[in-house]
Structure 1
Amino acid sequence: MKNAGQDVPNEVYQSLDTAGEGDKWWEAVDLQKLILAHNSIEALKEDLRNLPLLTVLNVSHNQLSELPAAIGELHLLKSLDVSFNSIHKIPDEIGSATSLVKFDCSSNQLKELPSSLGRCLDLFDFKVMRIMME
């Protein structure tokens, strides 16, 4: 029997501005690093845009088949690890994450990479094992 996929709790996508009074501090912090590796996560929401201070996002070893376009709105993102998922396509919006220094998209099911990655001029640690051929 296959385990049901996990969702990222909605509270993770809330910024400090949207947290209500009386919330626990860890539910009301502007996240800079989000490590969600090894959690059987099947999807990230477009609400990722609510985390504008994010510099590190690690969603490796999950069950993602795609990344949200909102990934391009994370202008401070320096490290993105989406390795060991089932991602078929990286969204073109990734080119707007121009602070990206490290990007690991190895061990996925990619058929191509967006040319917009060329706008990430500081990207020097880029890992992609292979592109799947049809």
Structure 2
Amino acid sequence: MVTVKFCCIIAVDVIIANLDQLVLSFNYFCCLKKIKHLYIIHVEMCFKVDLQKNRLKQINGISQLKNLTELNLSRNELSDFPVDITGLYQLEKLYINQNNIKTIPENVFPSLEKLKFLKLSTNRLEKLPQDMNRCQHLNYLNLSNNCLRNLDPLVGLSHLKELYVERNQLAELPELLFLNNSLTLFKANGNPLRKPPQEVCAGGLRDIQSYFAMLEADAPDVCTVKTMFLGSSMAGKSTLCRISITWASGSKIFSLRFPTQ
């Protein structure tokens, strides 16, 4: 293992045998075009590379690390998704959060068949590649603090357990995403959601799943409830604090609470 932190290094040219981990975080790298010079001997032994909190604008040659299982590129200045990652067939964890990435090209994720953990939060993503659901082993995905309007490319991630999409531009959530029985944690606050309503989303994953399950099971019976207060504005009225919507069979769909003054 080699660790170099909190330095002002601006270039690296190292030949190391039997290297299993490389930590170069918290430095001032701007470009790693010649990263291949780090791994001339026994490349197959390197499993983890940490390059977080530098000033990287691009990274080339990383695909040489064929057995790399964890890569941390977070807190850099990447504006383009590093397509060399497509050659990391053994990669299981990828941290690329807190960069300036706007788009991810197609044909990146189909090659990352073993990817389980992906952190893409705090970038500038406006859309996801349509083939993102090819990461069938993905169980953790963080897309918070982006500009996403659509999550359809995530439908089909059958092993996904945790999904974070807070503070995006989502107005609707895909129904099929919540028919996934593996999903155990979902966070979507800070979005202009209309379907499901924000009140439903505030109730958590179970309420969202119940909402979509109800739509799927008996769509013709879906109805809306409208409340009106009649009379002059200063007249005394009761305050609506809570409403529960229930089928005639007695099965509860969801319950909403309203703040009282």
TM-score w.r.t. length of structure 2 = 0.42
Counterpart CA distance in 2 for 1:8 and 1:130 is 25
Flag structure 2 segments of 5+ consecutive residues without an equivalent: 1-76, 195-261
The residue aligned with 1:42 is: 102
Are 1:132 and 2:205 an aligned pair?
A: no
Superposed displacement of residue 73, structure 1 = 0.8
Superposed displacement of residue 119, structure 1 = 3.1
Aligned residues of 1:95 and 1:119 also touching (Cα < 8 A): no
| Letter aligned with residue 87 of structure 2 | Q
Q: Which has the larger Rg?
A: 2
Q: Which runs of 4 or more aligned residues in structure 1 lie more than 2 Å from their structure 2 counterparts after TM superposition?
A: none
Superposed displacement of residue 131, structure 1 = 3.8
The residue aligned with 2:93 is: 33
Are 1:95 and 2:162 an aligned pair?
A: no
The residue aligned with 2:119 is: 58
Counterpart CA distance in 1 for 2:193 and 2:179 is 25
Flag structure 1 segments of 5+ consecutive residues without an equivalent: 17-29
What do the CA deviations read for 1:67-116 (whole angstroms, capped 9, x no partner)? Answer: 1121211110000000000001112x422101000000010000101111
Counterpart CA distance in 2 for 1:118 and 1:43 is 25
The residue aligned with 2:132 is: 71
| Letter aligned with residue 12 of structure 1 | I
The structure with higher relative contact order (CA 8 Å, sep 6+) is 1
SS of match in other structure, 2:94 = strand
SS of match in other structure, 1:129 = coil
Counterpart CA distance in 2 for 1:106 and 1:7 is 22
Superposed displacement of residue 44, structure 1 = 1.3
The residue aligned with 1:8 is: 81
Aligned residues of 1:49 and 1:74 also touching (Cα < 8 A): yes
SS of match in other structure, 2:155 = helix
TM-score w.r.t. length of structure 1 = 0.80
Aligned residues: 117
| Letter aligned with residue 85 of structure 1 | N
Counterpart CA distance in 2 for 1:79 and 1:112 is 21
